[in-house]
Structure 1
Amino acid sequence: MKLPWLRLTGAVATGLGLLGLHAVPAAAQDKPVEMRFSHWVPTAHPMHTAAVAWAESINKASNGTIKITIYPAQQLGKAFDHYNMARDGIVDISHVNPGYEPGRFPIVAAVELPFIFSNSKEGSAALDAWYRRYADREMKDVRYCLAFAHDPGTFHFTKKKVVSPTDMNGVKFRPPNAVIANWMRTLGATNVQASAPEIRDVLEKGVAEGAGSPWGSLGLFGIDKVTNFHIDAPIYISEQVWVLNKAKYDSMSPAQKKVMDEHCSSDASLKIATPWADFESGGKAKLKAMPGQDVYPLTPEQIAAWRKSAEPIVANWEADVKKAGHDPKAILDDLKKTVAARNAAY
């Protein structure tokens, strides 16, 4: 279901009320603030539409004193660079996929462990509520805004029907995040690093033979043109994080900061995630209707084998978190409890 503030009309959003938020209006005397928001998906992506609506809502709530200009599709920098871009003031707001930087953000990488999330609507609100308690530990040089996730993704292949983890041995695979990359290594696969917009290219050239992706993105990025075999199971999610440049945030008036804080919330996370989740989940039916596409479920025994094969990466994640000085058991238990409370557990 489309939410009102994400409806494609002449004005993408007509006020803070459409967001369902209640920020304190910015004072009339507040100085104008110009903000550059960079992300790396194309304008046809539902996340871009959500970002536009979010920016319009902030502008309305601030009485026009906060103006956000969005630069999509890697115009200002590669997807892998977006955290540093916000940290260094190249942009004021950026869309970060922490999984693109293996080892840098071990706490949030917990959500990349397979078989945790069943959906990414309430799951995104749970992810944000959980990570809000930990973001300052590993994203200290930016201001955390919010986090969300795409609809659970799965694995897609060009030439080989993969049904068991042993089938991954020798496969050249584009992993969606660092934890899945680690998993693939334990199974004997060779990882090929590529951002979402680059997946079709590496598959088409034979640099990779498989990739992790949610369903709707297959069509958006043309991946469906070069893949034929698709596991029908919600295996993983990849977290997405919006962060602010600290100096820019600190330069705002108290009223303007209040507006930004109201828009950096778990409620906003849910609203931003919903259209993307709907888009991704709807892609499976479209793919099934295409000739030559094999979308196949796994048996309970095969699912159990995949779960068993993932146990070493949980241990590896725990080791990374311990090395960073944190308690992995407490963090993972907290995540699972928060996801379950939102009815989003696998």
Structure 2
Amino acid sequence: MTISKTLMASAAIVALLPLSAAAEVTKLKLSHYLPAVHGFQVDFIQPWTEQVAACSKGELEFEISGAGSQLGNVARQQEQVLAGVSDIAVGLTGLPRGRFPRTSLIDMPFLTADAGAATYALWKVFPDYLAPEYQGLKVLGLFAHNGGLIHTSAKEVKVMEDMKGLRIRTPSPAVSEMLTFLGADPQGLPPGEVYENLQKGVIDGTVFPWDPVKSFGLNKVLKYHLDAGAYTVSFFFVMNQNSYDKLSDTAKSCIDQASGDALEPKFGDWWDAWDKPGREEAEATGHVITKLSEDERAKWREALQPMIQNYIKTVEGEGVENAAEIYKAMQDAVAEYEAQHPNES
């Protein structure tokens, strides 16, 4: 009887104790829109989750969903994380259009062709200028790709006049305006739909850095590549604020330590590595790769000055009254980065 009473008493005590360590594990869903073999997941997302999980000593676990999954739609990354369907997301600020007008000012033509500089500028101006666009979100990072090229399937582009009438896929409103001013006909398409539309002749070309050209198999349906370095495009790495707030102080600290200032400097080197296979594949296939001449670049810059001013006014008309100030702050941040990294610009 004594043993039985002791066992019952022990069971009662165990029932009152906190949940076991195994039950206290928090699993966070992280979504993005690229294949699992892409550098986004291999070099960035997977190591980040492993670092945070190890720091939390098993308190945090991650479930990653990319292209082909229910959470892999490129246009739904922001809404999914805001709704709590995913806890963390990586997405394009330009899709759907109009949600991040402040952030997307980094997409303006010839602001920079360097992912490191663009990423530095985004993070530098974020606290003072971009934060209002991320209500309900914990911003873990903002970044941008290297200068985009103009890729075409049947017609080589070397000068501005060659752009006239070409149907070119565009990733963001700012790039759409740029293409219009250069004489092209911008076509809004998610990255995953570019191959089919090129193959069918619905579009004549696309603007991308080298990385997506390889990731989406586009070298099979492209032939000409103009290295214009004319624009960049921005991305977000965000967490649902409520999901973050529910975590223990230890878990929050682990996420903070792996994000923001610790993460931002890595994107420049990552993009250089991600871009390399796309160019090498195009070269091996015998494609024509042309670099925009300095004289032609100056011509494009001059032609696009009215577009830049018009776009700033458009953003101001959408309620961002200090759009010009934000753009100037981005220019200053890019210049600051390039002065610190003269061999990279």
Q: Same fold by TM-score, threshold 0.5 exceeded?
A: yes
Q: What's the offset of the Cα at 1:299?
A: 2.1
Q: 1:37 aligns with which of 30, 49, 72?
A: 30
Q: Separation in 1 of the partners of 2:22 and 2:41?
A: 31
1:243 aligns with 2:220: no
* Aligned-partner Cα distance in 1 for 2:93–2:310: 17
Please identify, of 277-286 and 333-342, the stretch whose mean Cα deviation from structure 2 is larger. Answer: 277-286
- 1:38 Cα deviation from its structure 2 partner: 0.5
Moved more, 315-324 or 142-151: 315-324
Shift of 1:314: 1.2
Give 1:167 shift.
2.4
* Structure 1 residues 171-220: Cα deviation after superposition (integer angstroms, max 9, x where no partner): 11101222111222334432222222222111111111010111132222
Structure 1 or 2, whichever has the larger Rg, is: 2
d(CA) in 2 for partners of 1:342 and 1:193? 31
User: Could you say if the C-alpha distance between residues 288 and 329 of structure 1 is closer, same or farther in structure 2, counting changes exceeding 3 Å?
Assistant: same
Counterpart in 1 of 2:64?
A: 70
Q: Which residue in 2 is equivalent to 1:59?
A: 53
Instruction: Give 1:316's aligned residue.
Output: 310
State which of 259, 262, 265 in structure 2 corresponds to 1:264: 259
Give the conservation status (yes or no) of the 8 Å contact 1:59–1:66: yes
Match of 1:139 in 2: 134
Look up the equivalent residue of 2:262 and give its one-letter code: D
User: Which of 154, 160, 173 matches 2:155?
Assistant: 160
Match of 2:221 in 1: 226
Aligned length, in residue pairs? 318
* 2:119–2:143 Cα contact (<8 Å) kept: yes
- Which deviates further from its counterpart, 136-145 or 278-287? 278-287
Alignment of 1:64-143 (within 5 A): 64-75=58-69, 76-143=71-138
Is the Cα–Cα contact under 8 Å of residues 38 and 74 in structure 1 kept in the other structure? no
What residue identity is the alignment partner of 1:245? N
Structure 1 runs, 4 residues or longer, greater than 6 Å off: none
Q: TM-score by structure 2 length?
A: 0.85
Within the candidate set 167, 187, 190, 1:172 is matched to 167
**Which segments of 5 or more consecutive residues in structure 1 lack a partner in the other structure?**
1-27
Distance 1:53 1:311 in 2: 41
Give 1:341's aligned residue.
Answer: 336
- Alpha-carbon separation, structure 1, partners of 2:273 and 2:102: 27
CA contact (8 A) 2:106 2:118 kept: no
Provide the C-alpha distance between the structure 1 equivalents of 2:202 and 2:41, rounded to a whole number of angstroms.
29
Does the 8 Å CA contact 2:141/2:237 hold for their aligned counterparts? yes
- Cα offset, 1:282, TM superposition: 4.8
Verify the 8 A CA contact 2:29 2:64 in the aligned structure 1: yes
SS in structure 2 of the partner of residue 100 of structure 1 = coil
Q: TM-score scaled by structure 1?
A: 0.85
Structure 2 residue runs without a partner (length 5+): 1-20
- Give the structure 2 partner of residue 202 of structure 1: 197
Alpha-carbon shift at residue 123 of structure 1 (Å)? 3.8
